[in-house]
Amino acid sequence: MLTFFKDYKKFAIVFLIISAVILALIYNTLNVYQPLNIYQPAMVDEQLVDSTIQHQRKYHKIANFKLINQNGDTITQETYKDKIYVADFFFTTCQTICPIMTDHMSDIQKEIINDDEVMLLSHTVTPKIDSVAQLKRYAKRKGVIDKKWNLVTGDKKQIYELARKSYLAVKDFGDAGPFDMIHTENFMLIDKKRQIRGFYDGTDKEEINRLLDDIAILKEEYKQ
């Protein structure tokens, strides 16, 4: 009888060890690093995408651009070369979602202030109103730090095409006129290859936390 229990005890110990190893393997498998999606036009709400690229399923990247920031400096893709950045669309006289979005961008700015790998980019959808001087006043009021965050204005057609064909972020204004657009609350996470890696509700604090988490995941991708 004693021999039986001794043998059973040995079996139980071996079983527990094997079980622990199996559980550890399962845990590691479930928690393996998962890269972020690379978003293509076909994956996004058709209302936000120009009809010419709605069915594109690969190779989508942010187009080259040349815009002017709050200091009158020219901003291009070279400004964001080898950078991760968060982009959005807004206008300075907006009294609805823009103040919340800008406050949340400011929160992101605080989190990335010492991170040379990450920047911010906000495009106005009303360039005739949002002159350089207007953007500068807005930037001062909102605590924009120039080295981290560019507020840009420029040619309305270019901004419209960036919004609809590159960032997949705004709605067409329909019959109101060519290049008129309705901006959304979307923030877009752009990687170092100019690819869209995430969309977030810029009015939702939980979404901002998710965005910050995704920036960390994206940074990890470059270490792999």
Binding region for Cu cation: 94, 98, 183
Nearest-angstrom CA–CA distance, 158 and 66: 9
Residue 118 gets the label, from left (phi > 0), alpha (psi -120 to 50) or beta, of: beta
| Residue 62 near residue 166 (C-beta atoms within 8 A) | yes
Which residues sit in the known binding site?
94, 98, 183
The alpha carbons of the chain give a radius of gyration, in whole angstroms, of 24
Say which residue the tokens 């594109």 belong to.
56
Nearest-angstrom CA–CA distance, 47 and 58: 19
Nearest-angstrom CA–CA distance, 145 and 148: 6
Using a 10 angstrom Cβ sphere, with 0-12 exposed, 13-18 middle and 19 or more buried, the burial of residue 200 is buried
Give 196's strand partners.
39, 190
